[in-house]
C-alpha cells in the first residue's frame, strides 16, 4: 500500500522560513510528476508547485513564486519545499502529491492533471 507522508510544518513568524519534506512508502519517487498543494480554512485546495523528474521545468503558483523552491533528493526518496519570506497568508495545510501514472503535465507555466497519490498534509501556521 502506498503512503505519502509530509513533515516539517509548524508555527513560524512572518518573514521566517520552513522546509517541508515528503517521503513515500511503497513508492519510489522516479521520473514522473511530483507536487505540492495547500489548503487554507474555507478556501479551495491550491496547486502551488510541481516538478517532473529531472526536467529543469518547475511550476510555481504566482502566490509563491520567488519565495518557495521545490526540489528532490532521489537518494533519500524525498521531495522538498523550501519556503522563505513566509507571511500569514501562507497559513494552510500543505500536501505532497505524486503521479506515477503520468496524468499530470508540468511546464514552467502550468501543472495540470490529477495526481494519483496525495498525503495527509502538514500544517503550516505563520503568525503576524
Instruction: Judge residue 58's burial from the number of C-beta atoms within 10 Å of its C-beta, 0-12 exposed, 13-18 middle, 19 or more buried.
Output: middle
Between CA 42 and CA 110 the distance in angstroms is 24
Which residue is it, cell 512572518?
14
State pLDDT tens for residues 57-99.
999 999 999 999 999 998 999 999 999 999 999 999 999 999 9
State pLDDT tens for residues 2-46.
899 999 999 999 999 999 999 999 988 888 999 999 999 999 999
Question: What confidence score (pLDDT) does residue 43 get?
Answer: 96
Query: 120: number of CA atoms within 13 Å, CB side?
Result: 4
Closest CA to 107 of 23, 44, 35: 35
Amino acid at each position: 500500500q502506498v503512503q505519502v507522508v509530509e513533515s516539517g510544518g509548524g508555527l513560524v513568524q512572518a518573514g521566517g522560513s520552513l522546509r517541508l519534506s515528503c517521503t513515500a512508502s511503497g513508492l519510489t519517487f522516479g521520473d514522473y510528476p511530483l507536487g505540492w498543494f495547500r489548503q487554507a480554512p474555507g478556501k479551495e485546495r491550491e496547486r502551488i508547485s510541481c516538478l517532473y523528474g529531472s526536467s529543469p521545468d518547475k511550476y510555481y503558483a504566482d502566490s509563491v513564486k520567488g519565495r518557495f523552491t521545490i526540489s528532490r533528493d532521489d537518494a533519500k526518496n524525498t521531495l522538498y519545499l523550501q519556503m522563505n519570506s513566509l507571511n500569514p497568508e501562507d497559513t494552510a495545510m500543505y500536501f505532497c502529491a505524486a503521479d506515477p501514472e503520468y496524468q499530470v503535465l508540468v511546464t514552467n507555466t502550468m501543472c495540470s492533471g490529477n495526481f494519483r497519490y496525495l498525503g495527509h498534509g502538514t500544517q503550516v501556521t505563520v503568525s503576524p
